Copies of this chain bind each other. A is one copy, B any other.
Amino acid sequence: MTYCVGMVLDRGLVLMSDTRTNSGVDNISVFSKMFHWSVPGERIISVMTAGNLATTQAVVSQLEERTKAPDERDNTLLTAPTMFQVATEIGKLLRTTIADCQAANGNGGKGRFTASMIVAGQIAGMEPRLFMVYPEGNFIEAGLDTPFFQIGETKYGRPIILRGYDRSMAFEDAVKLLMVSFDSTLKANLSVGMPLDLMVIGREDFAPTHQRRILADDPYFNAVSDGWGDALKQAFHALPSYDLSGG
């Protein structure tokens, strides 16, 4: 499995992903699921991936034109005029990559080669934007009502984001919120694993404002993980008590 979250804030974009891939619980590996391309001062585009690793790596390689000889490369992500066109291009690559693999396998095991992606970024003169791209190649964009997207193992970590997210929050608080959400998910699903990749993209920065790999022994992550249990207990005790005699 996988867990990735992308959120839009007033201040910009925050992305976090795990790095565990697995083919059965007895075969796990570490692969980055977060990628970015930027033109300093002009654009930054970041992609997070979930699903079949061969599919997502094939799409990222095609995005980077690593399928071509160096002097023929021309990364369309760096030239597309809008984020909408970036998402369209990624959707098209994702859909055709899945379709090719399915066709090559006699259309058997439908769904086996599937994948989905979160695309986030900003191009100069336009707003930061966040998209969720489906295996079918189409996509949705985050708005005021639903300002974040999750892919992979989305359920364990969702309630705290629903409760804690605030569009006007500081990047520091958004990172803390994501750490709590990832901690809950890591505790419940072995197929989501450390290390985590974090990227903060400030509005008009057109480059990663902050980027970090959070390792298994990260002191801040451990402080959040340990502290959250105690903090929850206090929160829980602050709630009114149930009256058993009231039934």
| Chain A residues packing against B (C-beta within 8 Å) | 155-160, 162-164, 171-173, 175-177, 179-180, 184, 187-188, 198, 200, 209-212, 220, 223-224, 227-229, 231-236, 238-244, 246-247
Among A176, A200, A244, max chain B CB count under 10 A is at A244
Query: Does the CB pair B244–A210 fall under 8 Å?
Result: yes
* Assembly CA distance A242 to B163 (angstroms): 19
Q: Which residue of B lies closest to A239 (CB)?
A: B227
Given A155-B188, A163-B233, A223-B239, 10 new contacts (CB under 8 A): A159-B184, A163-B228, A171-B244, A172-B243, A173-B242, A176-B239, A200-B244, A220-B243, A231-B235, A235-B235
Rounded to whole Å, the gap between the CB of A89 and the closest CB of chain B is: 30
* Assembly CA distance A231 to B173 (angstroms): 16
Q: What are 12 sample pairs from A and B whose C-beta atoms fall under 8 A apart?
A: A162-B187, A164-B232, A164-B236, A172-B241, A175-B244, A179-B242, A210-B244, A212-B246, A224-B240, A228-B239, A231-B235, A234-B235
Copies per complex of this chain: 2
Rounded to whole Å, the gap between the CB of A202 and the closest CB of chain B is: 10
Q: Which residue of B lies closest to A240 (CB)?
A: B223
**Chain B residues within 8 Å of A164, by CB:** 232-233, 236
Using known A-B contacts A163-B229, A187-B159, A228-B163, determine if residue A238 contacts B234 with beta carbons closer than 8 Å: yes
Among A156, A173, A247, max chain B CB count under 10 A is at A247
**Chain B residues within 8 Å of A179, by CB:** 242
Query: Does the CB pair B229–A232 fall under 8 Å?
Result: no
List 5 tightest A-B contacts by C-beta distance, closest first. A155-B155, A231-B235, A159-B184, A235-B235, A212-B247
Rounded to whole Å, the gap between the CB of A228 and the closest CB of chain B is: 6
* Assembly CA distance A233 to B232 (angstroms): 10
**Chain B residues within 8 Å of A156, by CB:** 155-156, 158-159
Rounded to whole Å, the gap between the CB of A21 and the closest CB of chain B is: 21
Q: Which residue of B lies closest to A200 (CB)?
A: B244
**Chain B residues within 8 Å of A224, by CB:** 239-240
* Assembly CA distance A236 to B176 (angstroms): 8
